[in-house]
Structure 1
Amino acid sequence: MPGPGGPHGGHFLTDEEMKNTPKVTASLVKRIFSWLLPYWKQFVFVLLCIAISSTLKLLPSILTGKIIDDGLIGKNFELLVKLIIISLGVTFTGNLIGVLEAYLQTWIAQHITFDMRNKMYLHLQKMSQRFFTSNNQGDIVTRMTSDIDGVKMTITNTFSNILSNVITLIVALAAMYQKNWLLATIGLVIVPLFAIPTRKAGKTRWSLTRESQECNDKINGILNETLSVSGQMLVKLFGQEKSEYKRYEEENRKMISLNIKEGMAGRWFRVVISTVSSVGPMLLYLVGGILIMKYDSSITVGDITVLVTLLGRMYMPVNELLNIQVDWIRSMALFTRIFEYFDMKIEVANPENPLEPNECDGSVEFENVNFSYNPEKQILHDVSFKLNKGDCIAIVGPSGSGKSTLINLIPRLYDANSGSVKFSGNDVRTLDLEWLRKNIGIVTQDTYLFNGTIRENLLYAKPDATEEELIEACSKANIYDFIQKQDKGFDTEVGNRGLKLSGGEKQRIS
């Protein structure tokens, strides 16, 4: 039997989780259930399936008493066969309903995460460049992947487990008290006591598991740094092979020690659980035996067997309900992190009635433009100039003086704090964003190519471009001769971020 939180003792909050416990409000719970609202019919059916399945799965345990007393001890073969068939039928039916329940839960969870991912991706696409430069890229990806995947686990596990465990305990307790109130009360007292040693043993193993994971993260960090293309080059250039090996060897040795301790803690963990879980049944057998032998009680051998079986079925639900606070806090934290992103204001939004001029002369004009990334440091101050069609200028200045910022204001990757940036005679904030960006071409300092073919990267800007247009564009960029020399021409793979090409080739293709 697994301990609290499963074999790895995952039902314990870390120090960081305890420190950042989210505030659960009615509005937060209401917002969470708003995602379930489109699927309320399926969800109600799931709840019904859980209730029926949980009840049916306990009936074979209750029927065991009849099988022993009336079938075996009563020597009624016909009744014995009938009870066994009923027990098997109930078990099979309960399992079938459980399969339907699991399917519906998975279906609901997948559709909710589908809705969340689409809404999140659309929302992030609308965020300004400031959002992507000021937030960790790993955090952004985590919201889109791990956090939303966690929602699926919350729906399929946390919510359903609460109901399933509560129903199991209610039905089991009702059946136990119907058999014998004294033995049922003893069982009711024993079950919570079972959780104390198992939680203590589980917490020890959980602590070791966390240390092991932290050590594993350090090892992965060393591998990522020193065995990457750029990292291994730096290690060799600076002659740091021995020092890096020593660093890796120390962490690896520490990892071995922690793994041994964790393995042995797991063994002791199972010993504690096995021992403690045996105390309850033995105590019921003892008290039941005294009642039968000393007081000629009406309780039977079958009744005691039913009580012992039901007691065993109560251990896991009680453990999970005792740990439900941990699951609940993690679930709320998960939804809170996701909703924080949904609530982030979109800085650069399309105007309510965007303009899409029929003609574009390509002129650019700055009128008294001021801009800063943060209030403490002004980047652009009262900048004014005008560029007409065909003009060519060079913007010169030291690093950080705002050269790139000037360019980024034209396609509205950022918006000016004050003043006006005009394109083709119109303030860029009045123009349709898609129209504006389609009429502007930018070659960035940091050239970025997608992992695909040259053709796929060229068509990214204009998906309906013809072969002739591709050739014309590449000829103007002085890259067509290079493409012709490749075996696959436009269908040549460029590699991740264009690593198969030189810096100049990447710039000309981009």
Structure 2
Amino acid sequence: MGGNGFKGGRGGFLTEEEKQNSPKITAPLLKRMFSYLVPYWKQLIVSVLAIIISSVFGVFPTILTGRIIDEGLLQQDLPVLIRLIGLSFGVLIISNLISVVESYVNVWMAENITYDMRNKMYSHLQRMSHRFFTTSKQGDIITRMTSDIGGVQSVLTGTWTNILQNFATLTVALVTMYTKSPLLATIGIVVVPLFILPTKRVGKRRWEITLESRKHNDDINQILNETLSVSGQLLSKLFVTENYEFDRYQEANKQMIRLNIKESMAGKWFRVVINIFTSIGPMLIYLVGGILIIEYGNTDLTIGDITVMVALLGRMYGPVNSLLNIQVDVIRSMALFDRIFEYFDLPVEIDNDPEALKPETFTGELVFDAVSFHYDPEQPILNNVNFELKPGSSVAIVGPSGAGKSTIINLIPRLYDVTGGRVLLDGVDIRKLDLAYLRQHIGVVTQDTYLFNGTIKENLLYAKPDATQSEIEKACREANIHAFISGLPKGYDTVVGNRGMKLSGGEKQRLSIARIILRKPGLIIFDEATSSLDSISEHAIQEAIEPILAKSTSLIIAHRLSTILSADEILVLEKGKVVERGDHETLVKKGGIYTMLYETQMRHA
């Protein structure tokens, strides 16, 4: 019985963090939780009925044991004995079959609910602004999508089912015991706390030891990660600290062994105590039952009844202990849903206007009209920026790091919204344009090219899924990358690796340009496309960009000025303001910031 009573690990206890972060159980929270069950109310009814029937039928073989003893064995009636054993076996089979049905319904219901939640979460996260993904921990986002929603399935198939099963089993057992003998039933129940109290106390102690043990285990893992890595080993050799690191590891290992022994022995003594206490109840029932039959000749109580009482008492230990820990299970379940709802309730910062426009034509005329932007009002990023990009022309933006160049890029496809002024496309405020329409007509070649871990062709098709092989090759020729791809053993079916790690920076950048050419957007933005490349790669990128600039409406953010010499207009940005503007020749002669940037780069060229 001891094994059923004690829940090892963290089962029966809340950590301090869980206690501090426990959500308030409110009617709106409960209503919202159960709203996910509403579409599956038929399956829920079947599940509840199956659990109750299975629990009732599960107790029947124990009840029939009394009749088997009294009517079959003691009366020496073989036909009755066979009939009762057959009935008991039949009930057991039915009980297990119903359990299978109940398990299937619960799993089906849980899988479909988590399917709905995952889809809703993924859809909601896709609508989150760029700010959300730059400020949130990626691990936390993935945890909400996987572990947290996966935990809901455990709640539905585990916590919810166990609570109902335990209630049903306990109720049937109690009713049956009191029906047979109120006195013996009361004696059996009085003993239950003797079993529960040491379970809770020793369980809590083991949990405390486990927490401490985990901490030391984390320390050991940290030491191993730091000292057995390539860099850690090199450092310890160069500074001759091998003995120091060994002593540190040995001490941590010693503490770990001490705690493991402590935890193991706590469990051993615990089981000794539990075995003693779980024997007291049955002994008392045997004693009192024996006195009633032997001393007082109680004909209403039989040996079979006493046997059934003892068996039912044993079946009660597990459910009682489990229900005493119901608060822990409920709080953890609530916390799980609370974390998921927290993400569901995140506001969508960048959303479509209810009457979003989808103009018939797109020319790519871009106007920044007194645009300002900030994350913190005390620290403005852009301040009253004005410029105009005519269809078919090119504008370049240069300036020192932190001037606000990338912010301008982020505002055009509405990764962020302006905090002042307007951004106009073809004379329409982009906040009034349909988001999908807006972004479909803008192509951005980013500084850090992102490629999926697939083939070159698959990465190119991301821009245009229905593109033909000839269209793909044409785009790659224009991006000055076709010859390289053709020279690979698998050509366009070459796998690029995670984030394109099998390709060089220049090759990835040219693939990014090919991807944009394939998409044929009305406005192309180059965000420092050559800033981190060597001179050879830079030259190849320039050869790919120049024809695009000549025939497209384009905006170029540049760190290397050599890439923007042919731009129709150059804006010099400093501290969020346009401080100089003009073509290359005009700005060089001004003797301002642009001149300084140009001369500095020429000296280091």
| TM-score of the aligned structures, taking structure 2 as reference length | 0.79
Task: Supply the distance in 2 between the matched residues of 1:225 and 1:477 (Cα, whole angstroms).
Answer: 44
- State the Cα distance separating 1:216 from its structure 2 match: 4.1
**2:328 maps to which of 301, 326, 329:** 326
Alignment of 1:382-461 (within 5 A): 382-461=384-463
**SS of equivalent residue, structure 1 residue 395:** strand
CA contact (8 A) 1:379 1:401 kept: yes
Q: What corresponds to 1:339 in structure 2?
A: 341
Task: Supply the distance in 1 between the matched residues of 2:447 and 2:224 (Cα, whole angstroms).
Answer: 29
Q: Which runs of 5+ in 2 are unaligned?
A: 513-605
Alignment of 1:474-485 (within 5 A): 474-485=476-487
CA contact (8 A) 2:227 2:245 kept: no
Q: What corresponds to 1:281 in structure 2?
A: 282
1:353 and 2:355 aligned = yes
Distance 1:77-1:261 versus aligned 2 partners, 3 A rule:
same
CA contact (8 A) 1:3 1:202 kept: no
**SS of equivalent residue, structure 2 residue 398:** coil
Q: What corresponds to 2:151 in structure 1?
A: 150
Distance 1:129-1:104 versus aligned 2 partners, 3 A rule:
same
- State the Cα distance separating 1:5 from its structure 2 match: 6.5
Q: Deviations over 1:306-356 (max 9, x none)?
A: 000000000011011100000000111111111111111100011222222
Structure with the bigger RCO (C-alpha within 8 Å, sep 6+) is 1
Q: Deviations over 1:143-187 (max 9, x none)?
A: 101110111111112222222111211111111111111110011
Alignment of 1:97-112 (within 5 A): 97-112=98-113
Q: Deviations over 1:110-141 (max 9, x none)?
A: 00000000000000000001111111111111
Task: Supply the distance in 2 between the matched residues of 1:223 and 1:429 (Cα, whole angstroms).
Answer: 53
Q: What corresponds to 2:62 in structure 1?
A: 61
Segment of structure 1 superposing worse, 321-330 or 415-424: 415-424
Task: Supply the distance in 2 between the matched residues of 1:226 and 1:140 (Cα, whole angstroms).
Answer: 31
Distance 1:4-1:304 versus aligned 2 partners, 3 A rule:
closer
Segment of structure 1 superposing worse, 322-331 or 292-301: 292-301
| Equivalent position amino acid for 1:491 in 2 | D
Q: Deviations over 1:405-425 (max 9, x none)?
A: 110111111111121112233
- State the Cα distance separating 1:267 from its structure 2 match: 3.2
Alignment of 1:18-417 (within 5 A): 18-218=19-219, 232=230, 236=234, 246=246, 254-298=255-299, 299-417=301-419
Q: What corresponds to 1:15 in structure 2?
A: 16
CA contact (8 A) 1:9 1:202 kept: no
CA contact (8 A) 1:126 1:349 kept: yes
Distance 1:445-1:215 versus aligned 2 partners, 3 A rule:
farther
Q: What corresponds to 2:577 in structure 1?
A: none
Q: Deviations over 1:442-467 (max 9, x none)?
A: 12222221111111111112111221
| Equivalent position amino acid for 2:43 in 1 | Q
CA contact (8 A) 1:395 1:403 kept: yes
Q: CA RMSD in A?
A: 2.3
Query: How many residues were matched structurally?
Result: 507
**SS of equivalent residue, structure 1 residue 442:** strand
Distance 1:462-1:252 versus aligned 2 partners, 3 A rule:
farther
Q: Which runs of 5+ in 1 are unaligned?
A: none
Q: Deviations over 1:390-444 (max 9, x none)?
A: 4333323333332111101111111111211122332211111112112111122
1:486 and 2:491 aligned = no
- State the Cα distance separating 1:36 from its structure 2 match: 0.3
Task: Supply the distance in 1 between the matched residues of 2:152 and 2:178 (Cα, whole angstroms).
Answer: 38
Segment of structure 1 superposing worse, 492-501 or 324-333: 492-501
**SS of equivalent residue, structure 2 residue 356:** coil
Identity %: 59
- State the Cα distance separating 1:28 from its structure 2 match: 0.8
Task: Supply the distance in 2 between the matched residues of 1:278 and 1:396 (Cα, whole angstroms).
Answer: 84
Distance 1:222-1:425 versus aligned 2 partners, 3 A rule:
farther
Q: What corresponds to 2:464 in structure 1?
A: 462
Q: Deviations over 1:15-53 (max 9, x none)?
A: 001111101111111111110000001101110111100
Q: What corresponds to 1:503 in structure 2?
A: 505
Distance 1:471-1:269 versus aligned 2 partners, 3 A rule:
farther
Segment of structure 1 superposing worse, 233-242 or 372-381: 233-242
| TM-score of the aligned structures, taking structure 1 as reference length | 0.93
- State the Cα distance separating 1:58 from its structure 2 match: 0.4
